[in-house]
A and B are shown apart, each in its own frame.
Chain A
């Protein structure tokens, strides 16, 4: 879980837990979903797709869309590899150029 949690009691437990988490992180890293800018898709369409698929509110959808537009690409989701594949598939279904990559360690 995240680093703000209370540490577990006992050195042995904490150590094995840390090892388990490290192993899990190596075996199942988080994946990022990126959407890339293109000159064809309308800005309002990209905004709509983000609202529809990711459930973003209008302000967040617009902010992510503008990040795509201004910076060339933006991360729109992070999660398991399977989740990332599903998100990329949905974006491709809408005609957006999306890719996935392991979250940089």
Chain B
């Protein structure tokens, strides 16, 4: 991965195909969490799960299909305005108050809009990341361009992905976050090396989630650094 740097009209990072896959999986997990706040799309649990298994060679297409299915279903579904029952969903849609009446009133006002906003940003980011021809060389980097006009949305979507992954990884304090980062670096990276993809190490599914969390963090950090450099108060 080469982190974001500024271009004439936005920001550009460079990602390998395995890195794109990791990030797109993280996005799909986040979409799944949002989807579970909906009332009537239970069948999509199976559709999404089955698209992740079995045939690795076709994952990108299948994942895209899953995202499109979710997109379609969410567009026609009633949103559940109750308090989400999973800790991951609560990271995306937290309580707005200690007062249950205030918190519920707030959910009724905002939950549908917030869910749709987060969902549309994630689907858009997923499409951008997966709309690249596969390369036979896992070390090959393709550009990941974020126009300035979309940078806020990408930044916020990356934040949502990290929030959901942190719940899956049970990261509840900064020490745990730092330890996880060190573990990922020692598992996937050699000193002075660049990519985690030369000869797949023996890793567990949790290691992949952890790697996704770290990669998304690096991307978000470099993007926000670039945006702070260029921040124009008049653009508010």
A residues with a Cβ closer than 8 A to B are 39-42, 44-45, 47-48, 51-53, 55, 57-58, 85, 88-89, 92-95, 97-101
Q: B32 within 8 Å of A by Cβ? A: no
The CA-CA distance from A93 to B156 in the complex, in Å, is: 7
Q: B177 within 8 Å of A by Cβ? A: yes
- Rounded to whole Å, the gap between the CB of A76 and the closest CB of chain B is 14
The CA-CA distance from A47 to B102 in the complex, in Å, is: 27
For chain B, which range describes its interface: under 10, 10 to 19, 20 to 34, or 35 or more residues? Answer: 35 or more
- Measured between beta carbons, the chain A residues less than 8 angstroms from B99 are 101
- Measured between beta carbons, the chain A residues less than 8 angstroms from B95 are 99
- Measured between beta carbons, the chain B residues less than 8 angstroms from A92 are 92-94, 96, 110, 114
Do A97 and B94 have beta carbons less than 8 Å apart?
A: yes
- Rounded to whole Å, the gap between the CB of A62 and the closest CB of chain B is 10
B residues with a Cβ closer than 8 A to A are 91-99, 102, 106, 109-110, 113-114, 117-118, 152, 155-156, 159-160, 162-163, 166, 171-174, 176-177, 217, 220-221, 224-225, 227-228, 231, 233, 236
Query: A51-B231, A95-B92 are contacts. A42–B114 as well, Cβ < 8 Å?
Result: no
Do B96 and A88 have beta carbons less than 8 Å apart?
A: yes
Closest Cβ neighbor of B225 among chain A residues: A44
Do B110 and A85 have beta carbons less than 8 Å apart?
A: yes
Query: A44-B225, A92-B93 are contacts. A39–B174 as well, Cβ < 8 Å?
Result: yes
The CA-CA distance from A44 to B223 in the complex, in Å, is: 10
CB < 8 Å: which of A39, A44, A88, A99 contacts B228? A44
- Measured between beta carbons, the chain B residues less than 8 angstroms from A93 are 114, 117-118, 156
Do A100 and B96 have beta carbons less than 8 Å apart?
A: yes
- Measured between beta carbons, the chain A residues less than 8 angstroms from B114 are 89, 92-93
Closest Cβ neighbor of A37 among chain B residues: B174
- Measured between beta carbons, the chain B residues less than 8 angstroms from A58 are 228, 231
Q: List 7 A-B contacts (CB under 8 A).
A: A39-B174, A45-B220, A51-B233, A51-B236, A95-B159, A95-B160, A100-B102
